[in-house]
Amino acid sequence: MADKIIQWNNKLLTFNQKLIRTQSVATPVAATYPTDQLVERWGFADNTGLNGKTFSGSGTYNQSGPSAGLKSVALDGTNVITMADDADIKHVWNNHDYTIAYWLNCASTPTGQRILIRAYTANYKAGVLHLIRNAETSIATGMTCPEEADYMVENGTTNVRDSSWHLIIASRTTNSWTQYVDNSADGSATGNPSGWGASTSSSFTIGESLPCNIGPFYIYGKVLTSDERTQLWNSGNGV
């Protein structure tokens, strides 16, 4: 009888241990991107964004992205994709705080100035630009005005021409740009050229002369917080 009691106690102990292990395993929570004042997110499985805004052009969609499950669009430096005029994006361009964030993968081979993103504003006087200048390896973001000095972040130091995925975040306030690469500050610029004004068009292009892959791409109508930038970075995996 005593042996049977010991056997039952051992079985009960084993059962309780299994139950504790089952209860202690938390269900993983999928990482998500910030949604506060999100104007659009393009995941590039195809040309249509989360809110229905659609790119035209000849990029190759549904390519591998910065991590498993994320996609990108491939651009060869001659083909571009274009976002047509859109009221929501025009509102952001027009002297509004905003953030552009995207994943970039490009090689070290291109030389000369390579324009990645171009958006014209103020009767085409000022253009929102993301580019790599000449032999430099860092990204430059901001805006340029043909009739005035450039208003660009030129002091970035992170090499983005290394065939690796990098998260680029550029936030604009009324008179300043701040740039982040891989969730670390990577340059800033201040100024407010008079060429910046009410946008006559919200259209913009990606891939004008830079062979690259572009992963998930976001436009926010605000400056992202540190926590929100970290959320997009997601330990280098993206969301």
Rounded Cα gap, residues 193 and 123, in angstroms: 14
How many residues comprise the chain?
239
Residue 19 lies in a domain: no
Residue 5 lies in a domain: no
* Two structure tokens written together for 31: 């990482």
**Could you read off the pLDDT of 114-156 as tens digits, one per residue?**
778 877 654 444 456 677 766 678 887 766 554 445 566 766 8
Report how many domains make up the chain.
1
The pLDDT value given to residue 176: 79
User: pTM of whole model > 0.85?
Assistant: no
Which amino acid, one-letter code, is at 141? T
Distance of CA 15 to the CA centre of its chain: 48
Which of the residues in the chain have pLDDT under 50? 19-20, 22-28, 122-126, 146-148, 193-197
The pLDDT value given to residue 127: 54
The pLDDT value given to residue 89: 84
Residue 1 lies in a domain: no
Residue 93 lies in a domain: yes
User: In which residue are the tokens 């998930």 written?
Assistant: 216
Residue 22 lies in a domain: no
* Two structure tokens written together for 27: 């269900």
DSSP 58-89: --EEEEE-SSTT-EEEEE-SS--EEEPP-HHH
Rounded Cα gap, residues 220 and 41, in angstroms: 9
Residue 23 lies in a domain: no
Domain that holds residue 123: 38-236
CATH number at residue 183: 2.60.120.200
Residue 16 lies in a domain: no
The pLDDT value given to residue 124: 45
Residue 229 lies in a domain: yes
